[in-house]
A and B are shown apart, each in its own frame.
Chain A
Amino acid sequence: MRNLETSTEKAPKPKKEKEPVVEWLLAAGHRACSGCGEALGAKLVMDAAGPNTYVATATGCLEVFSTPYPESAWRMPWIHSLFENSAAVASGIEASLIAQGRDKDVNIIAQGGDGGTADIGIGCLSGMLERGHNILYVCYDNEAYMNTGVQRSGLTPFDARTSTSPSGKLSWGNKTNKKDLPAIAAAHHIPYVATATVGYPNDLMAKVKKALSIRGPKYIQVHVPCPLGWIHPSDMTIEVAKLAVLTGLIPIYEMENGVVTKVRKIGKNRRPAEEYLKVQGRFRHLFAKGADAEEELEKIRQIAEANIKRFGLV
């Protein structure tokens, strides 16, 4: 893998106290595709959360690849109900544990993909955030409905080609920009909202730990490349994830009580948007022979530019 940067990922400081490390709470040996960003993201989230964590998971790749009966990859209490209700199921778990006096020193995580979170599950998510449950919601954003064969979701980026937003004579692919779900979450006036990426695993784990140290509803949106859906080699997952950040297309930040308190600066490591787009088959139509996509590429550059301005990334 190429070294994409020199200074933005700080080496973790040595720990003062030794904590017992419990790893692989999402055990290896499950059925995710090689290079699956979501599997890596979920593994990091669970290891950061630790074993005293209840997990409610939406229908999607994560649930399918980790629990084909009689196997389960989960070494923690875990439930899957439906596509759009992991936030509500987690709300019920939290209320039940409180009523039974079993809520001390435990974490509750609700999780789902971008479709299960931003589209079909947004009602349950909003209810959970509004009611103030002490739950962390994690959205693994791989920018389309991957489990059903790469259909467009509300978090599919502009001009990405999916099976329901194909490029064609009259189309450059997905016609809309990503729904700003972190802002929607923050609009519920919750204490903590963050974006993260599997490209920066230490940052992701630190955010999960920080979120779980805060009482109330928390939302973390994790950018997770999908080699199958994005059409890139499976050994490029981390590289692609980092390029998304370094081009400014995926801003990484934290919001506490509605205010942006921290951003991951990209500074002199900034890359042109094309570097991110060119390595993925889902944007290949923008660079095809004879394609006159300059106008489209400029729109994508402007999306990056707007993120860079909004979050002060450089």
Chain B
Amino acid sequence: MRKFIEGSMAVAEAVKLCRPHVISAYPITPQTHIVEHLSQMVADGEVNAQFINVESEFGAASVVLGASAAGGRAFSATTSQGLLLMGEVIFNIAGLRLPVVITVANRSISAPINIWNDHSDAMAIRDAGWIMLFAEDNQEAHDMHLQAYKIGETPEISLPVMINMDGFILTHAFEGVDVISQEEADSFLPPFKPAVHLDVKNPVTMGVLAEPQWYMEARCRMQEALYESRPVIKQAARDFKGKFGRWYGDVIDTYRIDGAETVFVAMGSLIGTLKDAVDDLRGKGEKVGLLKIRCFRPFPGQEIAEALKNTRRVAIMEKAFSLGASGILGDEIKAALYATPYRPEISTFFIGLGGRDIPKSSIVNVYNQVKAKQQNNVFVDLKTELVK
């Protein structure tokens, strides 16, 4: 049913459809509305889950870890400092191969403290071993939750999935969302059947000590499982399209890329702005296109390289960067291309950090810069007078 709802509500409605056993979270802006909606659903008996209020995000992540280990479907949501505080548990959940789903309302990292959107939080824990998906709009965020549990709970994958959606820009935006019915959801997402779980009838030991002769193999298996998840993610997207007719790409998506001499690359809600900008520029005869990275981990290097093979210029728009190094997407895309004969000119831009607005004019400005010459790690719309 189509509803005019807030992005956070679109997420809460989706989580409800996934029939979680345990939800645990700690309040932090701009994530809070998601779990407020969910706690109301639990209070009203609409969701038959245990809602566990905790003393910190660290506790929330630990609660969903235990809930998943005991064979239940578990959900949490967080952002920014909360995700960092979860950090130790985030790595541990992946190592224990527990298919928890966490929604991250992407937000910048302190200091200076700033509650608005960028991708610094998710990028900071990108090496944790999670499948990391980025939603473009609220409909995709809604739909992505059903796909996330389906992907993570696939027995041979057994990995946690992080759904990233831009804080405020998506979480607090009201728009029309086709809310899936429970019957349709149940026919898409079967009940969780864990490969291994804690059970008094069949006692197992989880979370063992792995000495040097074992540790590397365990980490290697995680790496393999992440790579093996790529076809599973693609299949989930195809299955979803088959059932619901909606398509957002699988690990990547492209927009007006045929014949494009310049291709923008980005993740998250910026895709929407870029689509408009691409349309405007195409209208003026400029040969531009767009590559959306929907799945950041596992990193779809081959798919990206293939999509960019006929492109002259690439403009990578990053909402985070590695301090002391450079753009994260930029480096990974360059590494992916290095394994191929394709050598487009790559420019990298840092944009919208700490929630700075990204008007179409900024995109046009970026386009004009890359058309003139290759650019490296340019802060877009920087107030240069403040950084001298």
* Contact in complex: B74, A124 (CB < 8 Å): no
- Which segment, of A64-72, A242-250, A306-314, faces chain B? A64-72
* Contact in complex: B71, A76 (CB < 8 Å): no
Q: Does B50 contact A (CB under 8 A)?
A: yes
Q: In the assembled complex, which residues on chain A have CB atoms less than 8 Å from the CB atom of B59?
A: 85, 88, 91, 123-124, 127
* Contact in complex: B208, A88 (CB < 8 Å): no
* Contact in complex: A123, B56 (CB < 8 Å): yes
Separation in Å of the A148 CB from the closest CB of chain B?
Answer: 14
Q: Which of A69, A97, A126, A131 contacts B70 (CB 8 A)?
A: A97
**CB-nearest residue of chain B relative to A123?**
B55
Q: Does A52 contact B (CB under 8 A)?
A: yes
Separation in Å of the B216 CB from the closest CB of chain A?
Answer: 12
**CB-nearest residue of chain A relative to B214?**
A69
Q: Which of A52, A69, A74, A92 contacts B67 (CB 8 A)?
A: A92
Q: In the assembled complex, which residues on chain B have CB atoms less than 8 Å from the CB atom of A77?
A: 198-200, 203-204
* Contact in complex: B22, A82 (CB < 8 Å): no
- Which segment, of A34-42, A98-106, A174-182, A233-241, faces chain B? A98-106
- Which segment, of B88-96, B133-141, B344-352, faces chain A? B88-96
* Contact in complex: B205, A72 (CB < 8 Å): yes
Q: Which of B49, B65, B66 contacts A99 (CB 8 A)?
A: B49
* Contact in complex: B208, A81 (CB < 8 Å): no
Q: In the assembled complex, which residues on chain A have CB atoms less than 8 Å from the CB atom of B207?
A: 63, 67, 79-81
Per-position binary interface string of chain B over residues 47-78, scored 1 when its CB falls under 8 Å from any chain A CB and 0 otherwise: 01110111110110011111111111010000
Q: How far is the CA of A81 from the CA of B53 in the complex (A)?
A: 20
Q: Does B385 contact A (CB under 8 A)?
A: no
Main SS class of interface, B: mixed
Q: Does A304 contact B (CB under 8 A)?
A: no
* Contact in complex: B69, A69 (CB < 8 Å): no
Q: In the assembled complex, which residues on chain B have CB atoms less than 8 Å from the CB atom of A75?
A: 203
Q: Does B127 contact A (CB under 8 A)?
A: no
Q: Does A90 contact B (CB under 8 A)?
A: yes
How many residue pairs at the A-B interface have CB separations less than 8 Å? 160
* Contact in complex: B63, A92 (CB < 8 Å): yes
Residues of B8-32 contacting chain A, CB below 8 A: 21-22, 24
Q: How far is the CA of A89 from the CA of B71 in the complex (A)?
A: 13
**CB-nearest residue of chain B relative to A127?**
B55
Q: Does A151 contact B (CB under 8 A)?
A: no
Residues of B303-334 contacting chain A, CB below 8 A: none
Q: Does A95 contact B (CB under 8 A)?
A: yes
* Contact in complex: B88, A95 (CB < 8 Å): no
* Contact in complex: A96, B89 (CB < 8 Å): no
Q: In the assembled complex, which residues on chain B have CB atoms less than 8 Å from the CB atom of A52?
A: 200
Q: Does B210 contact A (CB under 8 A)?
A: yes
Q: In the assembled complex, which residues on chain B have CB atoms less than 8 Å from the CB atom of A63?
A: 207, 209
Q: How far is the CA of A85 from the CA of B69 in the complex (A)?
A: 14
* Contact in complex: A96, B70 (CB < 8 Å): yes
Q: Does A54 contact B (CB under 8 A)?
A: yes
Q: Which of B22, B52, B89, B208 contacts A80 (CB 8 A)?
A: B208
* Contact in complex: B74, A81 (CB < 8 Å): no
Q: How far is the CA of A52 from the CA of B203 in the complex (A)?
A: 10
Q: Given A97-B70, A100-B21, A123-B56: A106 and B65 within 8 A (CB)?
A: no
Q: Given A100-B21, A124-B55: A81 and B211 within 8 A (CB)?
A: no
* Contact in complex: A123, B58 (CB < 8 Å): yes
* Contact in complex: B203, A74 (CB < 8 Å): yes
* Contact in complex: A67, B203 (CB < 8 Å): no
Q: Does B1 contact A (CB under 8 A)?
A: no
Q: Does B387 contact A (CB under 8 A)?
A: no
Q: Given A85-B58, A85-B62, A123-B56: A79 and B69 within 8 A (CB)?
A: yes
Q: In the assembled complex, which residues on chain A have CB atoms less than 8 Å from the CB atom of B54?
A: 88, 91, 127
Q: Does B372 contact A (CB under 8 A)?
A: no
**Which B residues lie at the A interface, using CB under 8 A?**
21-22, 24, 48-50, 52-56, 58-59, 62-72, 74, 88-89, 92, 96, 198-200, 203-211, 214
Shortest Cβ-Cβ A-B pairs, 4 listed: A92-B66, A88-B62, A96-B72, A99-B21
A-B contact sample (9 more), CB < 8 A, given A100-B21, A124-B62: A53-B200, A69-B208, A78-B198, A80-B206, A80-B207, A81-B89, A85-B58, A96-B50, A97-B70
9 A-B pairs in the complex with CB atoms less than 8 angstroms apart: A54-B200, A68-B208, A79-B198, A80-B207, A85-B62, A89-B65, A95-B24, A96-B66, A123-B58
